[in-house]
Amino acid sequence: MHNDILSIGSYTIHGYGLMIGLGVLFGYFDAVHRAKKAGASLEENHVLPALLWSVLFGLVGAKLLYWLTILPAIAKDPRAMFENFSSGFVIYGALLGAFAAVSVYSRRHGLNYKPKLDIIFPSIALGQGFGRIGCLLAGCCYGRETGAWFAVTFQNSQFAPNGVALIPTQILSSALDFLNYFALSFIYKRSKRPGVVTACYLLFYSVGRFILEFFRGDLIRGSVGTLSTSQFISIFVAAFGAWMLWSTLKKPAEPAK
């Protein structure tokens, strides 16, 4: 895989950044389309600023959570915080940041935040699908060594071990994200209870991530006992998603406001 897509003079378009950009772009148009179908009561004009705040807070949250996973290294040398600053993000930090951004934005504007989250979270899953394609191009988030026919071997990666057959966890993760997007879009069209789609996202993603972590090979991300850091966090996210889904479904259905 090659992360350098195109070079113009000293400027290079990287596949990872390109896929992230496409994910944000497609996610935005998808969210706007969903908001239009939802009706005027969901105030379509709030989707763009809410999404932009979600991206900003998501990036901050992803970086902060990554720093938490390397606290021992930072304690020894604070400069470790700024090494490879363009990489080193934890997706759960991004999700917490996006969740907080939409919630705070909705409350500041007197909006019901649950419908806004239900609009945005399928689009987040869509964006993640593109983002994982970027991971494949860059070679990050790589899998364990394998002799299987479906292995991927990197030759020019700055992250994955080159010349070694690896499980293509990036492809698996991207496929799960796109599957999550279609499942959430299906649920959104049929659910009349604000919060159901958000709860399903948290539940579906965390369960899929917990399982996928068994095949990841980038162990530098840290661990908690026998679990990876992401698996440990997944347990709490799945529990919260299950609780949110249960508490939402036990209430009578009502139109989004």
Q: What is the pLDDT of residue 257?
A: 42
**Residue 256's pLDDT band (cuts 50, 70, 90):** very low
Specify the residue for token string 């993603």.
205
**Residue 164's pLDDT band (cuts 50, 70, 90):** very high
Instruction: Single out the residue of 28, 32, 9, 216 nearest to residue 126, CA to CA.
Output: 28
The pairing of strands 152-153 and 165-166 is antiparallel
Strand partners, 143: 216
Q: What would the pLDDT profile of 25-68 be if each residue is shown by its tens digit?
A: 998 899 888 888 876 444 556 777 877 888 888 889 888 888 88
Strand partners, 6: 13
Query: Any idea how long the chain is?
Result: 257
Does residue 231 sit in helix, strand or coil? Answer: helix
Specify the residue for token string 């209870």.
193
Specify the residue for token string 């790589």.
142
Q: What would the pLDDT profile of 111-147 be if each residue is shown by its tens digit?
A: 777 887 898 899 999 999 999 999 999 888 899 999 9
Domain range list for the chain: 4-249
**Residue 86's pLDDT band (cuts 50, 70, 90):** low
Q: 255, exposed or middle or buried, with CB in 10 Å at 0-12, 13-18, 19+?
A: exposed
For 228, the enclosing helix (H) or strand (E) is strand 227-228
Calculate the CA dihedral of residues 173, 174, 175, 177 and round it to 10 degrees.
90
**Residue 223's pLDDT band (cuts 50, 70, 90):** confident
